[in-house]
């Protein structure tokens, strides 16, 4: 993609390849992270993978995420061919059997490609597609960096939505040699926004800005199994956006290196000390992430007005 709207260059050695794996129809914040990534000149977006979000609420969650990504790309007038992939329709059945999908195959293909640019794969939902890719081709472990929005608070752990949708996959990834940056629940909750703020900063930014705002407001008012009572009213949390923000600015003094824990089916962390260290973030810079998103949306809208 050509980013003529920016008055600054990103040196080639600073550019990265990016795959975004997202349960986009689960909630209303994934879309903001996806759009920010697509508008970032540092990132060569080589794939969007539609992820499942369990099968409790809808039987075709992955397909719902795929359709939502189609909508986002249509609103931005971005081509879908070669960018959009189906992920696993359900969680791993166990810790040794991959769920083969277009998305897992994309991760393997990009990881094994000879390209000097670093490969990041960000996960805004469960880790099913990364675990499947690793089980399909373990050599990817030294050839990508994964950033995961998920998991409970350290040190004990606790139930958390993305983790709960595939504990087996998390254990596969945690026990591997894959470079992993984890943004647990207490940290991704550091991305609160007000709806008034989004109305002023996002809604006027063309068709995609209006869609981002309107779909979030609609979701915040939903009844039924998707309703989140504790986040209705005037605020929301853009909890997936740190995955993009940490590629822009990795907050080098805001994480701890910790041996990856084993995770029980109750989503508790068991610190065996047997696995390699991972980055566990303590905080993120919400100001930087939000202002970058607002600026990129405004510049995109101006270019397309």
3-state SS, the chain, equals CCCCCCCCCCCHHHCEEEEEEECCCCCCCHHHHHHHHHCCCCEEEEEEEECCCCCCCCCCHHHHHHHHHHHHHHHHCCCCCCCEEECCCCCCCCCCCCCCCHHHHHHHHHHHCCCCCCEEEEECCCCHHHHHHHHHCHHHHHCCEEEEECCCCCCCECCCHHHHCCHHHHHHHHCCCCEEEEECHHHHCCCEEEHHHHHHHCCCCHHHHHHHHHHHHHHHCCCCCCCCHHHCCCEEECCCCHHHHHHHCCCCCCEEEEECCEECCCCEEECCCCCCEEEEECCCCHHHHHHHHHHHHHHHHHHCC
Q: What is the mean pLDDT of the chain?
A: 95
Q: What is the pLDDT of residues 47-83, one digit of tens each?
A: 999 999 998 888 899 999 999 999 999 999 999 999 9
**pLDDT of the residue at 5:** 86
| Average pLDDT rounded to a whole number, residues 91-110 | 98
Tokens 């992993």 sit on residue? 180
pLDDT band for position 259 (50/70/90)?
A: very high
**pLDDT of the residue at 233:** 83
Q: Which CATH number fits domain 14-190+238-283: 3.90.245.10, 3.10.310.30, 2.102.10.10, 3.30.450.190?
A: 3.90.245.10
CA within 13 Å, CB half, 77: 7
**pLDDT of the residue at 232:** 64
Is the CB of residue 107 less than 8 Å from the CB of residue 144? yes
pLDDT band for position 114 (50/70/90)?
A: very high
Is the CB of residue 297 less than 8 Å from the CB of residue 35? yes
**pLDDT of the residue at 297:** 98
Give the separation between CA 247 and CA 257, rounded to whole angstroms.
Answer: 18
**pLDDT of the residue at 220:** 86
| Range in 63-67, 147-151, 220-224, 300-304 the model is least confident about | 220-224
**pLDDT of the residue at 32:** 98
Give the separation between CA 254 and CA 249, rounded to whole angstroms.
Answer: 11
User: Residue 151's closest CA among 143, 161, 142?
Assistant: 161
Q: What is the pLDDT of residues 197-256, one digit of tens each?
A: 999 999 999 999 999 999 999 988 876 555 565 566 899 999 999 999 999 999 999 999
């Amino acid at each position: 993609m050509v980013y003529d709207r920016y008055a600054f260059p990103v040196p080639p050695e600073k550019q990265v390849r990016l795959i975004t794996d997202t349960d986009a129809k689960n909630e209303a914040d994934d879309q903001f992270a996806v759009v920010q990534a697509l508008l970032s000149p540092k990132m060569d977006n080589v794939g969007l993978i539609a992820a499942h979000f369990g099968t409790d609420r809808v039987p075709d969650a992955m397909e719902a995420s795929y359709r939502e990504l189609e909508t986002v790309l249509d609103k931005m007038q971005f081509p879908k061919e070669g960018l959009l992939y189906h992920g696993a329709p359900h969680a791993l059945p166990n810790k040794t059997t991959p769920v083969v999908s277009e998305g897992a195959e994309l991760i393997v293909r990009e990881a094994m490609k000879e390209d000097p640019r670093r490969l990041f794969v960000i996960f805004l939902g469960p880790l099913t597609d990364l675990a499947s890719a690793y089980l399909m081709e373990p050599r990817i472990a030294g050839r990508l960096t994964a950033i995961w929005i998920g998991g409970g608070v350290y040190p004990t752990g606790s139930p958390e939505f993305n983790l709960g949708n595939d504990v087996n996959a998390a254990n596969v990834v945690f026990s591997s040699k894959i470079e992993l940056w984890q943004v647990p629940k207490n940290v991704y909750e550091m991305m609160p926004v007000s709806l008034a703020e989004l109305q002023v900063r996002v809604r006027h930014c063309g068709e995609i800005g209006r869609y981002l705002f309107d779909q979030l407001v609609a979701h915040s008012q939903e009844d039924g199994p998707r309703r989140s009572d504790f986040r209705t009213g005037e605020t929301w949390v853009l909890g997936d956006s740190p995955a993009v923000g940490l590629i822009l600015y990795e907050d080098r003094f805001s994480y701890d290196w910790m041996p990856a824990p084993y995770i029980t089916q109750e989503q508790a962390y068991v610190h065996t000390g047997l696995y390699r260290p991972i980055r566990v973030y303590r905080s993120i810079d919400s100001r930087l992430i939000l202002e970058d998103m607002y600026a990129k949306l405004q510049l995109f809208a101006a270019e397309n007005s």
